[in-house]
Amino acid sequence: MEEGVIFHWNVFRSILSIFQWWAFNVTVIIVNKWIFQVLFPFFSLLLLFYLIPSQFSK
């Protein structure tokens, strides 16, 4: 009986992790679309959002 409960918990965790991965990717796509549509005319803000943080990630 306990093996069935563990199996169901693992399935739930797998589905939850897939949903989290999907939600994160969709959020990044939406934010990128917004940044390029709204902030692209302001090149200094574009630099602030993309180029400066990329320097810290090296």
Full domain range(s) for residue 34: 2-56
Number of domains in the chain: 1
Cα–Cα distance measured from residue 14 to residue 1, given in angstroms and rounded to the nearest whole number: 20
Return the pLDDT at 29. 92
14 compared with 55, residue with greater pLDDT: 14
The reply to whether the predicted model has a pTM over 0.75 is no
Cα–Cα distance measured from residue 29 to residue 21, given in angstroms and rounded to the nearest whole number: 13
Q: What is the pLDDT of residues 14-40, one digit of tens each?
A: 999 999 999 999 999 998 888 778 766
Cα–Cα distance measured from residue 2 to residue 10, given in angstroms and rounded to the nearest whole number: 12
